[in-house]
Amino acid sequence: MTGLKDLMLETIVHNSNALMANLADEFVHAPAEEKEAIASGIDFERWLATVCQECLVKTEKSEDRISLTISHRFGFLIIFP
């Protein structure tokens, strides 16, 4: 099960990093009134990628069971040990 959990976390990190890159590109060309919302999206995706990366590092360093709940724009993703 740990392999599946790690794969899910790696996928979230990858997708968040890709979305951050897309949002950064949008930010450069966005009108001033949209920049704050785009910056918030970048901050959220950075946070999400960081949290998932920390969970991956923690599982590599120890055998502690991790229960992680992540709220994302499509609802809740719950990862159980």
Q: What is the pLDDT at residue 14?
A: 93
Q: Which residue has the higher pLDDT, 58 or 14?
A: 14
**To which H or E segment does residue 24 belong?**
helix 2-29
Q: What is the pLDDT at residue 20?
A: 95
Opening angle at CA 22, ends 21 and 27, nearest 5: 95
19-36 average pLDDT score: 95
Write out the DSSP string of 56-76.
HHHHHH------EEEEETTEE
The helix/strand/coil state of 51 is helix
- Pair 13, 53: CB distance under 8 Å: yes
